[in-house]
Chains A and B, each alone.
Chain A
Amino acid sequence: MSVRELRQAGLAGIGSSRIRANWAGIAIAALLSLFILTPLVNVAIWAFTEVWRYPAVIPQKFGFRFWADVLSRGDVHLAMTTSLSLAAIVTALSALICLPASYAFARLNFPGRNLFFMSFLTVYAFPKFGLYITIATIFLGLGLIGNFWGVVLIQLVSTLMFMVWIPVSAFQNVDRRQEEAARDVGASQLRVFWSITLPQVLPAISAAVLLTFVNTFYETEVAWLIGAPEVRTVPLLMVRFINSELVVQYGAVLSLLLWVPSFILLMLVRRFLGAQALGRALGA
């Protein structure tokens, strides 16, 4: 149910005074704004600051100097290349193996279908980081620590919940009558899939692909545990900025630089899926 529906349903339920409810609303909105927005606004200001000495409330000098610095840093370029190729490879591999599987789960009948489908629930059943530790102990023996493809392999596991679950429900929701009608007028199976099925599931699949890409790009824990120190992704560069960089602005500029594209992509996902479905995809 969307919030608007909820609100309409709630209309009947309110007997108390509107004003009191609104005081509560203003209080919630104010506290929440403070809690959620302060850290973000702070970083946004730092990114455009050249000089900000404590305890001034407003920076002494604004400017873009550090943008040029960050954009010309070799480690930023290297990390960007690593992260983009990691995210692209993981997303492509994940789509390659998961999308056909999700079609099979939604539409084909085969022995053990439910059992296999439910086996994906194990992704949710363990605290993630503990799971990565148990994988890492195996990778240690295989020499996959510090290996790019070791990171790819584990990242693939965490994409399963997007690339299998989301498309499965999309395939299940395709209007079967349209497909049958197309078959009746003589369209081949491939043609039906291409012209009828695919267009209907495309928004959900795009959402799954975008979610996978964004999540892999920002994934910190696997990269840190399995990839460091050889595999240097952007989140790991950010960790280095946090731990050992004296110039505050580098981290701020990098944050803003990274956050804006992810925000746009995720808003697209939200458009394709809606807030509740996006939440479900992420485990709510």
Chain B
Amino acid sequence: MSRAEATRQDAKGGRLFGLLLIAAPVSLVLLLIIWPVALSVFDTLTVETPSGVALSLDAYRFFFSDGFSLRNLWMTIQVAAICTVLLLIISLTIALYLRFSTSRLTGYIQALALFPLFVPSILLAYALIRTLGPNGTVDILLNAVGLPKLASPYLTIWGPIIGLVWDNLPLTLLIVLAGLGNVSSASIDAARDVGANRAQVLRYIILPRIRSTLLVAASFVVLGLFSAFTLPYLLGPAVPEMMGPFMRRTIIDVDDPLQARTQAVVSFMICAAFAYFYVRSIARTRREQSS
């Protein structure tokens, strides 16, 4: 058998065989992602009437007229916005340093910034409570140097913000670093040669080139924030609460699956644009990898 023949035979047998091999994970995606989401969108948009299923916006009308739901949504948006800004500033600062410094400190800084990857968030929640909570390390240290206690961020909106920034720093940094890697040194040199200072290089050369990277990083953070549960639940205030804990309480404690679904679909809608940028960038990376 020649190789060409063998390949042809492989390809023929491969068709059915290939479909068979991918059947299980693809049905998982269909059954546990696409079906539940589609069903939730459908069920929240319709009501059962005696004459059949009819379109109805009642579930959404309730959500958007309920002060409590709106306060929770608003808090999630606030936390997402604050975390995104903080994470972008911190990651960009660190990434710029890592990209342009020749100091030996870069190794230490990179290792440190990636370290949260190795700490599960449930352990982080515990550690932050011991550090920022009542009589925690911060209180101890302030007391030791004779300063008054600060208002603790624990159980305020700042608790989850600190935790989520800590938790999301490594991956945000990796996204920004990858983007900075694509800014050519030649263009920076050229700008320097014509007398641009650091701020000008950053503003006119680097930022325009990494705009899409920053958008992807922001999308990643926003998606993560809308799905955050453990850290907001353990570190944040009970009222208002972020969408994650709110959805769980609605389905388990309040026992109102319809509103829980509505809340989920509302957060999908708010995240849709970000999800689009984020997924597009992942798809692009995969294509580059496989070609």
Residues in A lying within 8 Å of B, measured CB to CB: 1, 3, 6-7, 9-16, 18, 21-22, 24-26, 28-29, 32-33, 35-40, 42-43, 46, 54-57, 97-98, 100-101, 103-105, 108-113, 116, 118-131, 133-138, 140, 153-154, 156-157, 160, 164-165, 168-169, 172, 180, 183-184, 218, 220-221, 224-225, 235, 238-239, 241-242, 248, 251-252, 255, 258-259, 262-263, 266-267, 275-276, 278-280, 282-284
- Which size bracket describes the interface of B in this complex? 35 or more
| A-B residue pair count with CB separations less than 8 angstroms | 337
Cβ-closest chain B residue relative to A104:
B21
Cβ-neighbour of B94 out of A14, A32, A258, A266 (below 8 A): A32
Is B141 an interface residue, CB under 8 A from the partner?
yes
Question: B226 to chain A: which residues have CB within 8 Å?
Answer: 127, 129-130
Q: In the complex the two chains form, is A137's CB within 8 Å of B40's CB? A: yes
Q: In the complex the two chains form, is B33's CB within 8 Å of A138's CB? A: no
Cβ-neighbour of A134 out of B108, B118, B252, B261 (below 8 A): B261
Residues 241-285 of B contacting A (Cβ, < 8 Å): 243-244, 247-248, 251-252, 257, 260-261, 263-265, 267-268, 271, 275, 278-279, 282-283, 285
**Alpha-carbon gap, A126 to B185, bound state (A):** 37
Q: In the complex the two chains form, is B131's CB within 8 Å of A42's CB? A: yes
A25-B101, A28-B93, A46-B130 are known; give 20 further A-B pairs, CB within 8 A.
A1-B181, A3-B107, A10-B100, A21-B102, A32-B112, A40-B119, A42-B127, A43-B127, A55-B143, A105-B22, A108-B21, A131-B37, A133-B261, A134-B40, A134-B264, A136-B257, A218-B122, A218-B123, A242-B126, A275-B114
Within the complex, what minimum Cβ distance (angstroms) separates B118 from chain A?
Answer: 5
**Alpha-carbon gap, A169 to B248, bound state (A):** 36
Q: In the complex the two chains form, is B19's CB within 8 Å of A110's CB? A: yes
Cβ-closest chain A residue relative to B198:
A16
Given the interface contacts A103-B21, A127-B226, does A122 sit within 8 Å of B117 by beta carbon? no
Q: In the complex the two chains form, is A39's CB within 8 Å of B127's CB? A: yes
Question: A9 to chain B: which residues have CB within 8 Å?
Answer: 185
Cβ-closest chain B residue relative to A251:
B126
Name 21 interchain pairs, CB-CB below 8 A, sorted by A. Answer: A1-B178, A10-B99, A18-B102, A26-B105, A36-B112, A39-B124, A42-B136, A100-B21, A109-B11, A121-B279, A122-B29, A124-B223, A124-B275, A130-B243, A137-B40, A138-B35, A153-B32, A183-B6, A218-B122, A224-B229, A284-B170
**Alpha-carbon gap, A135 to B122, bound state (A):** 23
Cβ-neighbour of B140 out of A7, A54, A125, A127 (below 8 A): A54
Question: B33 to chain A: which residues have CB within 8 Å?
Answer: 122-123, 126, 131, 157
B30, B34, B118, B120: most-surrounded residue (chain A CB, <10 A): B120
Cβ-neighbour of A137 out of B128, B137, B251 (below 8 A): B251
Cβ-neighbour of B275 out of A1, A26, A125 (below 8 A): A125
Cβ-closest chain A residue relative to B192:
A15
**Alpha-carbon gap, A202 to B11, bound state (A):** 25
A1, A134, A218, A279: most-surrounded residue (chain B CB, <10 A): A134
**Alpha-carbon gap, A171 to B14, bound state (A):** 16
Residues 30-49 of B contacting A (Cβ, < 8 Å): 30, 32-37, 39-40
Is B228 an interface residue, CB under 8 A from the partner?
yes
